[in-house]
Amino acid sequence: MGLFKIRRADGSFREVPIKMSMRLVGEEWHEIYQTPDKGSIAPEALIVMHREGSTNRYEYQIEGKAVPNVATNLFRPFATSDFWLADLGLEFLHWPNPKHIKTEMRKHRPCYVIETVNPHPENGGYARVLSWIDTEHGGLIRADGYTRDGKLLKEFQLKDFKRVEGRWQLKAVTIRNEQANTNTRLEFDLELEN
């Protein structure tokens, strides 16, 4: 279970509950994001289907109805947040021909700085993304998305981690939309149920 904590441009706040689960389906793993059926917004569901060596596939529903051609518009917000469908699927990590720019420290960790370029940039979406990948663990630490004209659009940061049953798990992720002057923090409840 999690919670989107959304700060709008006018300074007001909104919270939207979210449920995230993962399922193995054959040789794929599916990440499922859902907002509640009863809440302040229409219920939404996103399934990101991953398969090693393949591009992501997406299914997206609003009020139980499939949104057609979702793959052609992944730069749309999920649950009124700053997280786009493409952000939840980490789509930029699947773009072709990633380029190692340099290695530097980020959050006291050595990181590869990787540049990926969107092969089909859309107006309003990312044209290019710089990602900081931990050299030891291979995990994403931060990503900055840029527009076609090279302006910073969004800053994506993994914020907090918690050790649960001997494993480190992500506790919070933030996205700051530089151009809209908004941000969203996604916090996960990592307490295990008995």
| Prediction pTM value | 0.88
Determine if residue 180 is left, alpha or beta; phi over 0 gives left, psi from -120 to 50 gives alpha, anything else beta: alpha
Q: What's the CATH code of the domain at 51?
A: 2.50.20.10
What are all long-range contacts of 71-79, with beta carbons under 8 Å and residues at least 24 apart? 73/122, 74/125, 75/122, 75/124, 75/125, 75/126, 78/33, 78/44, 78/46, 79/4, 79/16, 79/18, 79/35, 79/41, 79/44
pLDDT digits (tens, 9 = 90+) for 67-112: 998 888 899 999 999 999 999 999 999 999 999 999 999 888 899 9
> Does residue 17 fall inside a structural domain?
yes
75 part of a folded domain: yes
Does any domain span residue 73? Answer: yes
Residue 16 has a CB neighbour count (10 Å cut-off) of 21
Parent domain of 171: 2-188
Is 96 among the domain residues? yes
Read off the pLDDT of residues 104-158 as tens digits, 9 standing for 90 and up. 998 888 999 999 999 988 888 999 999 999 998 888 999 999 999 999 999 999 8
pLDDT of 38 above 50: yes
139 inside domain: yes
Count structural domains, the chain: 1
The confidence score (pLDDT) of residue 73 equals 86
Is residue 170 domain-resident?
yes
* Residue-averaged pLDDT of the chain: 90
User: For 81-92, what is each residue's pLDDT tens digit?
Assistant: 999 999 999 999
Q: What is the DSSP letter of 85?
A: H
